[in-house]
């Protein structure tokens, strides 16, 4: 048993960082001085490389070195020489000369013996010390916030996770942007399209006409599917999820803010097997051998799939983001995220508490950012207002983008917006209802990288499934 009776550091907000028994903060003063000296020897090469590598003032632990970095970089940006006389004058003009140790302190940097050939070794050492300090500071802030913050726990977790993620990203040197590389990628895409013979570049939704219009679901895209209640938007989302998870055999993450996960699983089994809930009830469990075979096959397919369902009610954008990151760590080949539905999500920031429009804007913007961060398409359902029901004549029930609740931010953030509706739902009499039957339509009202138009569908209510419909002449569709 340890006999160490030293008082442990107080990590409440505002308390000083532990240093004594825990050791000094990670630092490399001589390495800092060496890099600054290199900047005075060959500023065009060294400073430009530091900027390209993402160096900031926080890389320097010594305050005087941080001041000199800012001045050296500023002079480099302006194309002004970095000589000792001019730098002393600039420091004097800004009352910072004493902060760097006076003229002797500055000359110590200019005269420091170094070699620009050591740049990579010294820069990597400085980056490592900076990252270690960042980890300590992040942990300290998280501990202080956990003691005193009134924010929701999931908000605290998300903020901490984002800070840790930023540290991770700061370690990634990344690749320098290259026009030639992007041109080559664009040419490869063009060649694929020319030789595709109708194949799409992105993921298939299972609906050929929709795939052709959007060229498949692609990484970083936000696809909003909006409808009035009872139009079948959850079924449409599940049909796409089923296609990706069971036909394409890819990992898919689905968030259900409205229905329990077991209900989504039941819907998937009905749609996949072709055995409806009505059949199960009517036959009182006495299904035919063929029906039982199809149901068992659907169960095995679903059991062996990489589908992940989260049914947290009213999930916040921060919690959703954290869970999505965790699932992608477990399934690096995660191909798509589905969300049912946007207006049931929440944002717990102070700004969002005072404005529903601001809250929706934070959620839609957060989903778009998440799709780019994780490099996966996100399909999110959204509710329409009563606009379609109030339209007169033949336009009754036909939705428009402006019918989206709190539509401004959603319209802006979405790459595609599909408006789902069923014709028979607004029929004025039984004859018209019978004529419209199971006809449905997905109006692709926004498509950032392709055409807009209608995707004719048929809704099989008992199986909760949308299928492709061949347009009739009286539909006015080609």
Residue 455 half-sphere exposure toward CB, CA atoms < 13 A: 28
Q: Under the phi-then-psi rule, with left for phi > 0, alpha for psi from -120 to 50, and beta for the rest, what region is 477?
A: beta
φ and ψ at residue 150, rounded to 5 degrees: -95, 0
pLDDT band of residue 59 (cuts 50, 70, 90) is very high
Indicate the average pLDDT of the chain: 82
Question: Is 258 one of the annotated active-site residues of the chain?
Answer: yes
pLDDT band of residue 312 (cuts 50, 70, 90) is confident
Q: Which residues of 86-124 are buried (b: 16+ CB within 10 A; e: fewer)?
A: ebbeebeeeeebeebeeeeebeebbebebebeebeebbe
pLDDT for position 32: 94
- In this model, does residue 193 exceed pLDDT 70? no
Domain stops at, among 171, 186, 220 = 171
Instruction: Decide if 188 is inside a domain.
Output: no
What's the pLDDT tens digit per position in 144-168? Answer: 888 887 767 777 777 787 777 777 7
Judge if 213 and 139 occupy the same domain.
Answer: no
Which of 96, 19, 37, 28 has the alpha carbon at shortest distance from 62?
A: 28
Judge if 343 and 471 occupy the same domain.
Answer: yes
Instruction: Decide if 213 is inside a domain.
Output: yes
Structurally, how many domains does the chain consist of? Answer: 2
**Greatest Cα-to-Cα distance within the chain, rounded to the nearest angstrom:** 96
Show Cβ contacts of residue 212 under 8 Å, excluding neighbours closer than 6 positions: 198, 200
| Catalytic, out of 258, 291, 389, 477 | 258
Judge if 93 and 144 occupy the same domain.
Answer: yes
The CATH code of the domain that includes 110 is 1.10.860.10
Instruction: Decide if 17 is inside a domain.
Output: no
Instruction: Decide if 183 is inside a domain.
Output: no
pLDDT band of residue 197 (cuts 50, 70, 90) is low
Judge if 283 and 410 occupy the same domain.
Answer: yes
The CATH code of the domain that includes 339 is 3.40.50.300
Higher confidence at residue 319 or residue 104? Answer: 104
Q: Range with the lowest mean pLDDT among 192-201, 309-318, 338-347, 469-478?
A: 469-478
Instruction: Decide if 12 is inside a domain.
Output: no
Judge if 210 and 161 occupy the same domain.
Answer: no
Show Cβ contacts of residue 127 under 8 Å, excluding neighbours closer than 6 positions: 53, 59, 170, 171
pLDDT band of residue 7 (cuts 50, 70, 90) is very low
Q: Percentage of residues in the chain with pLDDT exceeding 70?
A: 83
Judge if 356 and 422 occupy the same domain.
Answer: yes
Judge if 118 and 204 occupy the same domain.
Answer: no
Q: How far is residue 180 from each of residues 190, 252, 413, measured CA to CA in Å?
A: 15, 34, 29
Distance, in Å, from the CA atom of 139 to the CA atom of 72, rounded to the nearest integer, reads 32
What's the pLDDT tens digit per position in 217-258? Answer: 999 999 999 988 888 889 999 999 999 999 999 999 999 888
Place of tokens 């709190």: 406
pLDDT band of residue 474 (cuts 50, 70, 90) is low
Q: Under the phi-then-psi rule, with left for phi > 0, alpha for psi from -120 to 50, and beta for the rest, what region is 274?
A: left
Instruction: Decide if 106 is inside a domain.
Output: yes
The whole-angstrom distance between residue 264's C-alpha and the CA centroid of its chain comes to: 24
Judge if 144 and 234 occupy the same domain.
Answer: no
Instruction: Decide if 19 is inside a domain.
Output: no
Parent domain of 95:
29-171
Q: What is the torsional sign of CA 125, 129, 130, 134? A: positive
């Amino acid at each position: 048993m340890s006999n160490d009776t030293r008082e442990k550091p107080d990590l409440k907000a505002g308390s000083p960082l532990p240093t004594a028994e825990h050791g000094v903060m990670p630092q490399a003063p001589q390495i800092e001085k060496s890099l600054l000296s290199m900047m005075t020897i060959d500023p065009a090469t060294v400073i430009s490389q530091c900027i390209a590598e993402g160096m900031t003032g926080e890389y320097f632990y010594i305050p005087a070195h941080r001041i000199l970095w800012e001045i050296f970089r500023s002079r480099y940006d302006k194309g002004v020489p970095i000589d000792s006389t001019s730098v002393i004058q600039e420091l004097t003009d800004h009352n910072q000369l004493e902060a760097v140790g006076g003229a002797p302190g500055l000359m110590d940097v200019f005269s420091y013996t170094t070699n620009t050939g050591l740049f990579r070794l010294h820069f990597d050492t400085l980056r490592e010390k900076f990252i270690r300090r960042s980890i300590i500071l992040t942990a300290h802030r998280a501990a202080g916030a956990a003691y005193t913050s009134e924010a929701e726990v999931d908000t605290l977790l998300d903020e901490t996770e984002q800070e840790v993620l930023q540290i991770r990203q700061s370690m990634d040197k990344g690749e320098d942007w290259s026009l030639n590389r992007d041109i080559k990628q664009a040419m490869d895409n063009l060649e694929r399209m020319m030789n595709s013979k109708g194949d799409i570049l992105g993921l298939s939704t299972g609906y050929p006409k929709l795939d052709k219009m959007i060229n498949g679901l692609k990484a970083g895209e936000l696809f909003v599917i909006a409808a009035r209640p009872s139009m079948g938007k959850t079924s449409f989302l599940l049909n796409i999820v089923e296609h990706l998870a069971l036909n394409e055999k890819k990992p898919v993450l689905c968030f259900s803010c409205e229905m329990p996960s077991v209900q989504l699983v039941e819907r998937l089994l009905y749609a996949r097997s072709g055995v409806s809930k009505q059949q199960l009830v009517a036959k009182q469990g006495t299904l035919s051998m063929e029906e039982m075979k199809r149901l068992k096959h659907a169960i095995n397919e679903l059991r062996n799939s990489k589908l992940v369902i989260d049914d947290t009610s009213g999930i916040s954008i921060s919690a959703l983001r954290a869970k999505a990151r965790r699932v992608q760590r477990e399934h690096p080949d995660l191909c798509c995220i589905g969300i049912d539905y946007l207006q049931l999500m929440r944002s717990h920031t102070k700004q969002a508490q005072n404005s529903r429009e601001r809250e929706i804007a934070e959620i839609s913007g957060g989903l778009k950012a998440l799709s780019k961060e994780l490099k996966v398409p996100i399909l999110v359902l959204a509710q329409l207002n009563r606009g379609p029901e109030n339209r007169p004549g033949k336009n009754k029930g036909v939705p428009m983008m402006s019918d989206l609740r709190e539509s401004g931010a959603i319209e802006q953030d979405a790459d595609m917006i599909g408006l789902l509706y069923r014709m028979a739902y607004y029929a004025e009499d039984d004859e018209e209802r019978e004529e419209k039957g199971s006809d449905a339509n997905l109006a692709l009202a926004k498509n950032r990288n392709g055409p807009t138009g209608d995707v004719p569908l048929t809704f099989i209510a008992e199986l909760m499934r949308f299928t492709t419909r061949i347009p009739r002449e009286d539909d006015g569709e080609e």
